[in-house]
Amino acid sequence: MEQQLTLDQIQDFKGKYPKQLWLLFLTEMWERFCFYGMRGVLTIFMVQKLLLDERTANLQYGAIQAFVYAFAFIGGLFADKILGFRKSLFFGGILMILGNFIIAFSPHDLFYIGICFTIVGTGFFKPNISSMVGTLYKEGDSRRDAGFGLFYSGINIGAFLGGVLMVYLGKNVSWSAAFLAAGIVMIIGLITFIYTQKFLGPIGLSPQNPEAPVQKRKLYEIAVYIGSLISIPFILLLVRNTQYTDLFMYIIGPVTLLYFLYETMKYKGAERNKLFAALVFILFSIVFWAFFEQSGGSLSLFALNNLEHNLLGFTMDPNIVNNSSNTIFVIILSPLLGLLWVWLSKRNKEPNTVIKFGLGFFFLAASFYVLFGTRLFADENGITSLNVFTFAYLVMTFGELCLSPIGLSIMTKLSPKPLWGVMMGMWFLASAYGQYVAGLLGAGMARTDEKASVAQKLIDYTEGYKQLAIYALICGAILIILSPLFKKLMHEVK
């Protein structure tokens, strides 16, 4: 029998990246295909296939995405306490495959049922692979940010492929073909992970006490599986009725915060301070994602209605550009930015995480000012420049790269190891609130008048983007000004 790698052997790697990092992002890459492909087609699908008005489509988009990320918190919790990262990931992948195949069978009639399977599945899959990436590094390893940067870049290859292929298949072939493609690539992802496991040593195994009776451990695991499946009809009710989504979001946030405080009280001194610093990043990330996630909501509809089909002289579907340009920029820029952080770190000039977060908001503000500026390039019919729109995504990507991969890394840096899954889950729960608010913001920009002209929609959406730019600018300034206070809470963590 092949001897299992120890954690020390894995963490004592040479060079910039451990080999396990490459294998993990090959698994995550296909989940990103599924997730970002679906994210990019949701509002278009709901407007064109389900015949919802734009305001309702934005709200439904926000609700679906919010539940995906809310379940990431629950998935992280169960992985931490019962399943372990590996079993959680595998279970989630199976549910995602089933969900996509259900929708593919009958997109119009079974969409909401299939999406609920996908919501639960993504919740079990999403937070745990990022946690495993964090485990590849020893505490204080300066290569960690670069590793998360490469991981972030690699998995965006899947996001790019999904963003292009699912929009193309949905709009030009059939919606069944689009969702079928997502299910097939998830099968590829799970097969990749099965092969990957032997290189992970003890990483991701069940956290349950190995001395506890086997029957008892199995019973806990089965209870998680059954409980997750039982929750699907409940989620179906919430997703189809956005007023119930509101109630759920009003409850889950305070309950989670109380649980966080309960866990925090178990720690003292520097560890407790670092957990509160993590909470600050989580709260600011809610605002960031509320603005950034207009990509799948209002910007998707803006691309559908208000953009020309010409990018740098080439004929392009604006929705494919909307759903893929960010990922292209991430693939190109993420490893370069990660290496820049390492280069600056060696010279003691790397900006701390708080400053990076502040810079992320400044770039986000700039991108929404560019989106506001698209009205200056519009013709009399309200059709505007796809080139300017794409440039806004380039600027926005710099903001994302200052925050998101660093955010995943900082959760593992600031959290005690027993809370890694929970804190990663809270990071994704913050994204849930961001998605939820993104839907509300998008609905607020959308016209309730079905007969509104394309030119009027241009004015409405771009005016909304200008407001988001102002708010993002304020958030960035607050972070920069208060950075000395936040640095004290973080102690030695940079």
Residue 371's nearest CA partner among 492, 444, 304, 463 is 463
In this prediction, residue 1 carries a pLDDT of 38
Phi first, then psi, for residue 26 (nearest 5°) are: -65, -30
Distance CA 340, CA 349 (A): 10
Consecutive H or E run containing 314: strand 314-315
Q: Where along the chain do its domains lie?
A: 17-490
How many angstroms separate the first and last alpha carbons of the chain?
Answer: 42
- Mean pLDDT of each 10-residue bin along the chain, 494 residues long: 68 80 83 86 89 87 86 79 85 94 94 94 81 80 76 79 91 92 92 84 76 83 92 88 83 86 85 87 91 91 93 92 90 80 82 87 97 94 95 94 74 78 75 89 78 86 94 95 84 66
Token pair 């009710």 in the structure block, residue? 237
In this prediction, residue 65 carries a pLDDT of 86
SS3 category, 273: helix
Quickly list DSSP for 287-311: HHHHHHGGGTTHHHHHHHHHB-SEE
Distance CA 203, CA 141 (A): 18
On whether the CB atoms of residues 59 and 443 are closer than 8 A, the answer is yes
Superfamily of domain 17-490: MFS general substrate transporter like domains (1.20.1250.20)
On whether the CB atoms of residues 410 and 360 are closer than 8 A, the answer is no
Q: What is the pTM of this model?
A: 0.83
In this prediction, residue 166 carries a pLDDT of 92
CA 287 to chain CA centroid, Å, is 14
Q: Enumerate residues 6+ apart whose C-beta is below 8 A from 84.
A: 204, 205, 206, 207, 208
Tokens of residue 152, six digits: 């972030």
